[in-house]
Amino acid sequence: MWKGLIHHYRDYLPVTDNTPPLSLNEGNTPLIPLPHLSEKLGIELYVKTEGANPTGSFKDRGMVMAVAKAKEEGSNTIICASTGNTSAAAAAYAARAKMRCIIVIPDGKIALGKLAQAVMYGAEIFAIQGNFDHALKMVRRLSEIAPITLVNSVNPYRIEGQKTAAFEICEQLGQAPDVLAIPVGNAGNITAYWKGFKEYHEKHRTGLPQMRGFEAEGAAAIVRNQVIENPETIATAIRIGNPASWEHAVRAVHESNGKIDEVSDEEILEAYRLLAREEGVFAEPASCASIAGVIKQRKSGEIAKGSRVVAVLTGNGLKDPTVAMEATSIQPIVLPNDEKVVFSHIQGVVFQ
């Protein structure tokens, strides 16, 4: 039986005899081939569906390590700034580890499902009238002056936990892909994947992919090489104007012969709809920046025909029902509770 990351990847992680065996059975997520989009794009395309983690995003990989280490070190309170997924994961693992969890979020700018999670897991929630970058600055300072453990991805244990996704991809494919496409917000995850691919290659000779990271156009600080004071994008998860792991991301793409690129909200939404309609895979908008990026770079030729590409789908589509309902014109047709009327409507659809 799968027992989660600390158990499974113990030899690759900073785990000691005193590390609590914290787990919600995170990790071991499906790598799903996308036959229809592969054919359309002339590549071999897979998605790593991180929305299948216990709280519905990749953050569980990092959080299980960060919270276990905080507990091991005697801390009883964790804190994070978040666009939603980090706070959901932090709140869940804190509940499991019997710790307090304080979260600071940008008011009105986090998806409904994520807020519901934080509420249900019992976090202490502060919504500031500012953005993620402001919130992160505050919690970083607070964690320096108060006995609270910071669990944003500047905490190195987060990166350690998240690198395991790269291990899994190598195991699932038998080797690293040619290209790894990934959304970029605070840039912790691209940093973690690159670390993971390098470590696994050192041990198992699995090769190294080109790292291709995608920011949202309205929050593309790394692409523009300047801090964005007022980042804006429909993909609220990556609405970040001053990524904390900026230099690490730049190093990852430099070392791997990859690129940090940007995709527009329209491109993100197009990929979001395409993925659900053509392949039956529902991922949250920010996740679809990876697919939008693959489509863009196939058109430009930057991703070569026939490449084996893994796109990371960082979060579950159910996280953000509001964007889903606005992204499509298909709405339920409301009918009276009358068999005849219902039959005639459905037959009208079937026999059109």
Instruction: List the one residue from 49, 53, 82, 164 that touches ligand F0G (CB under 6 A).
Output: 82
Q: What is the CA 107 to chain-centroid distance, rounded?
A: 20
* Residue 22 is a binding residue for ligand F0G (CB under 6 A): no
- By CB under 6 A, name the one of 4, 27, 84, 106 that touches ligand F0G: 84
- Residue of 44, 21, 48, 52 whose CA lies nearest to 32: 48
Does residue number 281 form part of the binding site for ligand F0G (CB under 6 A)?
no
Other CB atoms within a 10 A radius of the CB of residue 207 amount to: 14
Nearer CB in complex with ligand F0G: 191/210: 191
Question: Is residue 189 part of an annotated ligand binding site?
Answer: yes
Helix, strand or coil for residue 81? strand
In the three-class reduction of DSSP (H, G, I as helix; E, B as strand; rest coil), residue 135 is classed as helix
- Please, what is the Cα angle at 315 between 310 and 317, to 5 degrees? 110
Stretch that binds ligand F0G, among 78-86, 139-147, 173-181, 291-299 (CB under 6 A): 78-86
From 18-26, 39-47, 83-91, 96-104, span contacting ligand F0G (CB under 6 A): 83-91
The Cα 293–Cα 210 span in angstroms is 13
Residue 185 contacts ligand F0G per CB under 6 A: yes
> Is 185 within any annotated ligand binding site?
yes
258 lines the binding site for ligand F0G (CB under 6 A): no
**CA 30 vs CA 128, 168, 217: distances in Å:** 36, 9, 29
Residues 125-164 close enough to bind ligand F0G by CB under 6 A = 153
Give the whole-angstrom CA distance, residue 290 versus residue 177: 15
Task: Report the residue from 13, 111, 166, 237 that binds ligand F0G according to the rule CB under 6 A.
Answer: 237
Residue 314 assigned to a binding site:
yes
Residues in region 306-335 near ligand F0G by CB under 6 A: 314-315
Q: Which is nearer to ligand F0G, 167 or 193 (CB)?
A: 193
Instruction: With beta carbons less than 8 A apart as the criterion, state whether 45 and 33 touch.
Output: yes
| Beta strands in 77-141, from DSSP E residues, in sequence order | 77-81, 100-106, 124-128
Chain contacts with ligand F0G (rule: CB under 6 A): 57, 59, 82-86, 153, 183-189, 237-238, 284, 286-287, 314-315
Q: Binding site for pyridoxal 5'-phosphate, residues?
A: 85, 185-189, 314
